[in-house]
Copies of this chain bind each other. A is one copy, B any other.
């Protein structure tokens, strides 16, 4: 079974033809991090510009609304990056909390350190680009689902595409990611059982 480093080295080779042997300067600056269930990785108001590749586990990014309720923005799992976008992109304190839903293994790097490395090693640049584009595509896809689909349709699609994830994560977080309350999600599930079990 491969480690994060293996995965990323492979990606770097595929994207830019960089040989694993030549990735030392990049990985020398990374640190492995372990989080236990329910441990916060980044808290609200923090100014950390840490960037981490998730080797194992699920992390939830959420914010506390004015009324005190939580709203889950997104879930990230193994093979993806996690970071405070407020802080990395806009240099603002994080408005979100990033918390492990399971035991999590991360490979972490400071974004400012990464920028320095990229200056001296532009051959790693495709990696940054790849992940930025991947995240953009992902978030546009979620956005699309909000303007084209009903909550029930969004849930059906999530089940179809990420069944494993839905089963790993408590329903209430799924609900809030869909933009509805847990009560409403429960009703949707009921409707799906009784009426059409049929597809998309």
Contact = CB atoms under 8 A, between A and B. Distances in A.
Contacts of A72: 147
Interface residues of A, number: 31
> Which one of A65, A142, A143 has the greatest number of beta carbons of chain B within 10 Å?
A143
Interface stretch (A38-46, A51-59, A133-141, A157-165): A133-141
A116 interface: no
Contacts of A133: 88-89, 132
A17 to B, nearest CB: 12
A47 interface: no
B137 A71 contact: no
Contact of A148 (B63, B128, B134): B63
A146 interface: yes
A177 interface: yes
A23 interface: no
A65 B142 CA distance: 15
Contact of A147 (B122, B129, B148, B177): B177
A179 interface: yes
A89 B72 CA distance: 26
A142 B143 CA distance: 7
Interface string A171-197: 000001101000000000000000000
5 contacts: A63-B148, A85-B140, A125-B125, A139-B140, A143-B143
Given A85-B136, A89-B133, A125-B125, 20 more contacts: A63-B148, A71-B148, A73-B143, A73-B144, A74-B143, A85-B137, A89-B136, A90-B137, A122-B125, A129-B129, A129-B132, A132-B132, A132-B133, A132-B136, A136-B139, A142-B143, A143-B143, A143-B146, A146-B179, A147-B177
